[in-house]
Amino acid sequence: MATVSSPVRVRFAPSPTGFLHVGSGHSALANWLVARQTGGEFLLRIEDTDAERNRPELVDNVLEMLQWLGLQWDGTPVHQSERGALYADAAASLERAGATYHCDCTGEAVQARNKAAGGKPGYDGFCRDRGLEAGPGRAVRFRTPDEGRTGWTDLVRGEVSFANEDLEDFVVVRGNGAPMFLLANAFDDADMGITHVIRGEDHVNGTPKYLLLVDALGLARPTAFAHMPLLVNEGRKKLSKRRDDVSMADYRARGYLPEAMVNYLALLGWGPADGVEVRPVEEIVERYRLEDVNASPAFFDQKKLSFVNAEHIRALSSAAFQERARPFLTRGDPAAEALASLATEVQERVRTLTEVEPMIEFLVVEEPTMDEASWAKAITKGKAVPEMLDASIARLEALDPEAWVPERIQEAIGRAAIDAGLVNAEGGPQLSKAQGPVRVAISGRTVGPPLWESITVLGRARTLARLRHTRGRLG
RNA sequence: GCCCCCAUCGUCCAGCGGCCUAGGACGCCUCCCUUUCAAGGAGGUAACACGGGUUCGAAUCCCGUUGGGGGUGCCA
């Protein structure tokens, strides 16, 4: 299959009926990648011809999410709602060419006839030859050919074609005068000079009608189409707003990095030849090939997304990591300062930015929130817990306040372990056992950043107070 | 129902007629490292849906079957 090389002119055409969804993001990304790669243009068109469903405020969400992802579009977004006259002209030209007719059938009437005729869906052509004039409430239908085939070369699917006899006479203008999706969509693509139509697989069935319309309008067909694989859930069903986690804004709120989202989305349906999956977007722009995109549906795997996100988090400089985490710190500046003191340790341990704060929270709050499971594991079921806490208090207290550094603290805890009888075969301290009660006492949890560093940052007074408090609870 | 599409490990991707006793990644499991958890290192688990062709040779090409998905609106 030919490679897309000369500059393309592509578009992302969302309908503002919902928040930007990871599936639309996937299609938008494919368009953007190809535009950037070929030095072409990535245009935006808001398909808001349905005044009743249209929610203008959702346009903001779509634009904001595209910007968040870094998918900057070229020029000003086109709004179909402002182009009614153009569609009316197109419809008039269709009528002059005899390509359309007026229809006054109601949906119920069509259904009833279909049922009587054996239950096949679609319009039956009832008004085709009735010669109805235009009139209020009357829709305009396109007269599809009765024979022949309509097809195209799809960059991801190869040759695709439909028998014209299977294509019903579809509506191009509604009874209220509003243009239908297919008319506005096909007309605009030609009018905007779109060379490559890249969109989801759910548009495959509408493509022959689109093509018939473009031809009847005397406009040029796009150079190529590419129907991207659908993104599916664990049940292998198309991702849906109702049952799946698909809102791009939610992923942002849950601490995913836009570069990780873009990286992961690019991996759905495609993979770089060198096998390096996690990489900067510029490298994906260079390597992406529409012709190599798979036609089969891809499962949107949040576990892998998390892995990719963790990799991108670790790739950040410490300063950048702290800056990116800042909006997720609900406890403000104190939390930011706490993070600064343990940044590299935390950065290596989180998969999303929302996991940052819980890891340093013990440094910010008065008293750490005690995790019940951790208490049960390290305190209730721990070995020589009272002894270990007593010894830690004694050893840490004896430590020169000037020497409150990780190395000295490790030594002190090591001695405390030996005092408490937590020794290994060589007579050394059994640190893995010894650190449990201390960690829970100071942070409330069994997992967290390295202990010696945590104690160093917590400070002498607070560390001793928390150890004593926990010791006190044991009686 | 009809039309269209899809079919390699649980998942994503590689494979485009011999290099495949099928490779990488996520996940899961084991071990190492280790103050917890991560990270890192070493292993392991696991797939060409089925049946016919074509060919000296098929995961790769063709046909069929089965399975899955999408569409089937005066929504986009």
Is 80 exceeded by the pLDDT of residue A119? no
| Any strand B atom closer than 7 Å to A310 CB | yes
Cβ of A238 less than 7 A from strand B: yes
What average pLDDT does the segment A35-43 reach? 97
More confident residue, A299 or A425: A299
Q: Which DSSP symbol is given to A262?
A: H
Contact call for residues A35 and A5 (beta carbons, < 8 A): no
* Mean pLDDT, rounded, for A433-443: 95
Q: Exactly one of A209, A237, A238, A241 is catalytic; which is it?
A: A241
pLDDT at position A24, please? Answer: 97
Q: Which pLDDT does position A232 carry in this prediction?
A: 97
Nucleotide nearest to A105 (CA to C1'): B74
Q: Is the CB of A443 under 7 A from strand B?
A: no
Q: What is the pTM of this model?
A: 0.95
**Distance from residue A271's CA to nucleotide B8's C1', rounded to whole Å:** 15
Q: How far is the CA of A161 from the C1' of B64 (A)?
A: 21
Check if residue A296 sits with its Cβ under 7 angstroms from strand B.
Answer: yes
Residues 356-395 of A with CB under 7 A from strand B: none
Number of H helices, E strands in chain A: 19, 12
Contact in structure between A184 and A213 (CB atoms under 8 Å): no
Distance (Å) from CA A277 to C1' B43? 23
pLDDT on residue A351:
98
Helices (H), A217-317: 248-253, 258-266, 281-287, 302-315
Give pLDDT, residue A264.
98
**Which residue has 């997720």 as its token pair?**
A328
How many Å from the CA of A291 to C1' of B20?
24
Which 116-155 residues of chain A approach strand B with CB closer than 7 Å? 119-123, 137-139
Question: Is the CB of A242 less than 7 A from some atom of nucleic acid strand B?
Answer: no
A2 pLDDT higher than 60: no
Average pLDDT value over all residues in chain A? 95
Protein CB footprint (7 Å) on chain B nucleotides:
1-8, 10-16, 23-27, 35-39, 68-76
Average pLDDT in the A91-103 region? 97
Q: Which of A421, A361, A354 is closest to A386 using CA atoms? A: A421
Single out the residue of A302, A305, A336, A306 nearest to residue A321, CA to CA.
A336
What the block records as the tokens of A338 is 């706490």
Nearest residue for B37, CA–C1': A447
Please give the average per-residue pLDDT across A212-219, as a whole number.
98
Residue nearest B74 (alpha carbon to C1'): A174
> Quick check: A91 and A172 in contact, CB under 8 A?
yes
Scanning every strand, the nucleotide with its C1' closest to A15's CA turns out to be B76
What confidence category does residue A117 fall into, taking pLDDT thresholds of 50, 70 and 90?
confident
Nucleotide nearest to A227 (CA to C1'): B5
Query: A292-341: per-residue pLDDT in tens?
Result: 999 999 999 999 999 999 999 999 999 999 999 999 999 999 999 999 99
Does the structure show a pLDDT above 90 at A167? yes
Residues 188-217 of A with CB under 7 A from strand B: 201-206
Predicted confidence at residue A253, as pLDDT, reads 98
**Secondary structure of residue A12 in the 3-state scheme:** strand
- Looking at residue A54, what is its pLDDT? 85
Residue A468 CB lies within 7 Å of the nucleic strand B: no
Helix (H, G, I), strand (E, B) or coil at A347: helix
Asked whether residue A47, judged by its CB, lies under 7 Å from any atom of the DNA or RNA strand B, the reply is: yes
> Per CA to C1' distance, which residue is closest to B70?
A202
Per the CB < 8 A criterion, the answer to whether A143 and A100 are in contact is yes
Report, as an integer, the average pLDDT of A150-175: 96
Are the CB atoms for A208 and A80 separated by under 8 Å? no
Distance CA A451 to C1' B72 in A: 62
Q: Is the pLDDT of residue A208 over 70?
A: yes
CA to C1' distance (Å), from A138 to B13: 51
Contact flag, residue A453 CB and nucleic strand B, below 7 A? yes
Residue A120 has a pLDDT of: 76
Partners of A142 in beta bridges: A100
CA A162/CA A246 separation, integer angstroms = 32
pLDDT surpasses 90 at A56: no
**pLDDT at A1 exceeding the cut of 60:** no
Q: What is the pLDDT of residues A369-388, one digit of tens each?
A: 999 999 999 999 888 999 99
Nearest nucleic acid nucleotide to A298, CA to C1' distance: B12
Q: What is the pLDDT confidence band of residue A4, given thresholds at 50, 70 and 90?
A: confident
A377 is catalytic: no
Measured CA to C1', the nucleotide nearest A278 is: B25
In this prediction, residues A185-198 reach a mean pLDDT of: 98
Evaluate if residue A440 carries a pLDDT over 80: yes
Say what the pLDDT of residue A12 is.
98
